Amino acid sequence: MRRFSFCFLSSVFLLVIALFSPTSRVGAEQFIQNKVKLKNVFVDIHYDKSQVNLVRTEDQNSTKISLVDKKSGKILETYGEIIQPLEQVATKTVGMNDASVANTSGTYSISTVYRERNDGPAVSRLSTQLYIYSYDSFRQINKVLNTWWSEASGGSWYLTRDVANTVSMTGSFPTTKVQTSGSATIEVKTSYSITGSFSISALKEAGFTYGYSSGSDIYYRKPINLGFVYSLY
């Protein structure tokens, strides 16, 4: 029984590492954790400064931070936040009481925060939509409106078997910190005649394995997972 418990705890520990570690393969001993400000929220990013640059792009309502490999110039993964204009908040299904209170005591906003990973030709995005209340210097996440996977790049591929969940890091809502995690399978359609990033050789190099065939179409698959922690302070 003691041996079983040890194996189970070890498996859980490895799963947490897989969810929240960078998707690139660099020296683990050099990873550092930085709390980086987006728009309304902060995100914990683990990366190796000697091999990765953080590139920030933003406008009035959004911020995107890409982890770029210094040697190849390729984007390894991306974090971002999109703020919905305040005039649209009342039209969302967040409760009329919340929207009316926002006019008299503090401000409500909706932030969509996300993390993307790159796997060959496929860019997968895991998003969480947060309903945030602010009053002077006080802020809190009142609720999570939605958590979902989506395809963030085009081409003959899609996500299957996708599951995602967001929980409060304080045990309940309202809160100031949330954790999102999810898993999915990337399925890419290719053939022997296709070249470039969707070719069989390129897919294999990116970690895809053969799934099944249908006529001249060949499908390759890759299971993925993502996790991130966002906070207001």
pLDDT computed for residue 49 by the predictor: 86
pLDDT computed for residue 31 by the predictor: 60
pLDDT tens readout for residues 9-65: 344 334 444 455 555 444 444 567 789 999 999 999 988 889 999 999 999 999 999
The helix (H) or strand (E) run that includes residue 70 is: none
Using CA atoms, how far residue 61 sits from 80, 83, 113, 200, in Å, is 11, 5, 12, 39
The helix (H) or strand (E) run that includes residue 149 is: strand 138-151
Rounded to whole angstroms, the Cα distance separating 125 from 113 reads 10
pLDDT computed for residue 87 by the predictor: 57
pLDDT tens readout for residues 157-201: 999 999 999 999 999 999 999 999 999 999 999 999 999 999 999
Rounded to whole angstroms, the Cα distance separating 51 from 49 reads 5
Six-digit token string for 60: 């009035």
Establish whether the linkage from the previous residue to 174 is cis, with ω within 30° of 0.
yes
pLDDT computed for residue 85 by the predictor: 65
pLDDT computed for residue 169 by the predictor: 97
The helix (H) or strand (E) run that includes residue 129 is: strand 122-135
pLDDT computed for residue 187 by the predictor: 99
pLDDT computed for residue 12 by the predictor: 39
pLDDT confidence of 8, banded at 50, 70, 90? Answer: very low
Give me Rg for the CA atoms of the chain.
Answer: 20
pLDDT tens readout for residues 97-145: 554 444 557 889 999 999 999 999 999 999 999 999 999 999 999 999 9
Rounded to whole angstroms, the Cα distance separating 35 from 135 reads 23
The helix (H) or strand (E) run that includes residue 4 is: helix 2-20
pLDDT confidence of 226, banded at 50, 70, 90? Answer: very high
Instruction: For residue 116, give the 3-state DSSP assignment.
Output: strand
